[in-house]
Amino acid sequence: MDIQTFISEYIEKRRETFIQLSDKIWETPEIYFEEYRSSEYLCHALEGEGFQVERNVAGLQTGFMASFGSGNPVVAILGEFDALPGLSQKKGCTQNDPISAGGHGHGCGHNLLGTGAFAAAVAIKEYMKQTGLKGTVRYYGCPAEENGSGKAYMTRAGLFDDVDFALSWHPETKPVIMNFSSLANYAVRFVFNGKSAHAAAAPHLGRSALDAVELMNIGVNYLREHMIPEARVHYAVTDTGGNSPNVVQAHAEVAYLIRAPKKKQVIELYNRVHDIAEGAALMTGTKVEVVFEGAASDLIPNTTLAETMYKNLSAIGVPAYDEFDQKYAKEIRDSLSPEDRDAALIGFDKSTAEKLKEKHIADVIPPFSKKEIMLSGSTDVGDVSWVVPTMQCMTACWALGTPFHTWQVVSQGAMPIGHKGMLQAGKVMACTAIDVMENPDILEQAKAEHKERLDGETYFSLIPEQQEAPRKS
């Protein structure tokens, strides 16, 4: 029996176990560094499968590692399980209908991501037991991908130093290989403190922290003309200091996310933003404190692993979608804006775009392309990719055109379309891992390519040296 048949049959035999775990995490959405139940669900499931689990790794209360086997090669399977704030949504609904107003929701599909990775790790373990394949499969429970970069803390702590290669995946609207780079990022909060006063009777006695936030934002907006076009700077005012216009606001905060193609460029851009914050404080007679939130390195591609993963994606193929899936996907697409629907086919080759033009689910695997692109977003998988050869795939878990971080993603995250994409990803990762473990030449080639791409550069973390992993009560 070939690898793809063995793995596909095993995962399909266990499909209800994996679906139930994914839905359990979906039902208890927890945001960054607060994934206590979600991480424990996965730890308990891994222990039940015979993995040795180490909790609280790298100072992360919700981070863990689970290992099976011994010796080399060591494959890292990366799992995530954090949700997003404000995206509560009932499953299966085709209109915005929160379970709880302002509650959390899995708006990036990490309930599927963590469980699909779990399915892959368990399937690899089973193959090792059945065939005697030597090596170690290690599941990494990685918290806070969205707003905290758990993998960056894990990488800084050396948890990947003995790993030979790493695999992961992400829910998407199409089945593709993620052989591209991404933007490095730096996330910080600027906290301004001034002096309150009666805004009418004694405004001259006040020092407005809100004024400082506004002046900082204006200054950064003028900066945009003078930074590289590939860079991104976004902000959100997270505390305006109060609701009364008759009080000079003594406290205000603004959160910034700064991105650029390379880490050194992020540092340079952050320093300029920091200078603007200091200037705003000087102009308003306030004080500014900088609070670190998270950081991620740029992603290093690896064509060797990408080609191996694509071979397995093609061999496994796409799931079968029934009439219910198609009807539901159409209703989700009907809820999208015309712009979202029009953008759904951007990035596909002409032949694939033509095949998908009238479809609601991307059930076609595009041809492999060696052309590498720059992802405009960021991922803390980037930190791992600086230390070991790393590759990811995407599978169709959402209706074609569904934007990330939306209620539509949450709605689909506990539905059959999501489950099918999750199981497909588990199969692809497991088969890819086994291919590399059984073929030392592939691993040697992947490592040689990794070394060539780094071109003498060594990994350094964007996390400040004195910064410890956040600990929440």
Q: Each residue of 229-277: pLDDT tens digit?
A: 999 999 999 999 999 999 999 999 999 999 999 999 999 999 999 999 9
Q: Is the peptide bond before 73 cis (omega within 30 degrees of 0)?
A: yes
Q: Is residue 346's pLDDT more than 90?
A: no
Q: Which of the four pLDDT bands, split at 50, 70 and 90, describes residue 199?
A: very high
User: What span, in angstroms and rounded, lies between the C-alpha atoms of 55 and 142?
Assistant: 11
Compute the C-alpha angle 9/14/16, nearest 5°: 130
pLDDT per position as a tens digit, 182-192: 999 999 999 99
Residues 6+ apart with CB under 8 A from 304: 389, 442, 445, 446, 449
DSSP-based three-state secondary structure for 456: coil
Nearest residue to 302 via CA among 172, 394, 438, 393:
393
92-98: which pairs have CB atoms within 8 A and are 24 or more residues apart?
92/328, 92/411, 92/414, 92/415, 93/411, 94/328, 94/331, 94/332, 94/334, 94/335, 94/411, 95/335, 96/407, 98/407
Report whether 238 contacts 254 (CB < 8 A): yes
Length of the chain: 473
Whole-number average pLDDT of the chain: 96
Token pair listed for 298: 């740029």
pLDDT at residue 80 is higher than 70: yes
Average pLDDT of the segment spanning 53-64: 96
Q: Is residue 295 a contact partner of residue 183, using CB atoms and an 8 Å limit?
A: no
**Which single residue is written with the structure tokens 């793809």?**
4
Domain(s) labelled CATH 3.30.70.360 in the chain stretch across 184-296
Q: Report the percent of the chain where pLDDT is more than 90.
A: 92
**Are 21 and 41 spatial neighbours (Cβ–Cβ below 8 Å)?**
yes
* CA atoms 242, 294, 77, 385: torsion sign: positive
Q: Is 98 exposed, middle or buried (0-12, 13-18, 19+ CB in 10 A)?
A: middle
CATH of 184-296 given 3.40.228.10, 3.40.50.300, 3.30.70.360, 3.40.1350.10: 3.30.70.360
- Beta strand 165-172 with 74-80: parallel, antiparallel or unpaired? parallel
Residue 453 to residue 446: CA distance in whole angstroms: 11
CA gap 391, 407 in Å, rounded: 28
Residues of the chain with CATH 3.40.630.10: 3-181+298-454
Residue 471 has pLDDT above 80, yes or no: no
Residue 473 has pLDDT above 70, yes or no: no
Homologous superfamily in CATH for domain 3-181+298-454: Zn peptidases (3.40.630.10)
pLDDT digits (tens, 9 = 90+) for 39-50: 999 999 999 999
Taking only the tens place, the pLDDT of each residue in 129-148 is 999 999 999 999 999 999 88
Burial of 240 (0-12, 13-18, 19+ CB in 10 A): middle
The pLDDT value given to residue 375: 84
The Cβ-side half-sphere exposure at 102, using a 13 Å CA radius, reads: 0
* Token pair listed for 166: 């790493």
Model pLDDT for residues 304-314, shown as the tens digit of each residue? 999 999 999 99
**For residue 105, what are the β-bridge partners?**
84
CA angle 122, 169, 471 (to 5 degrees): 85
d(CA 179, CA 375): 10
Per-position DSSP letters for 185-219, written without gaps between them: EEEEEEEEE-B--BTTT-GGG-B-HHHHHHHHHHH
Phi, psi of 292 (to 5 degrees): -70, 140
Mean pLDDT value of segment 339-359: 90
Tell me the CA distances in angstroms from 209 to 165, 253, 272, 340, one per residue in order: 48, 8, 20, 38
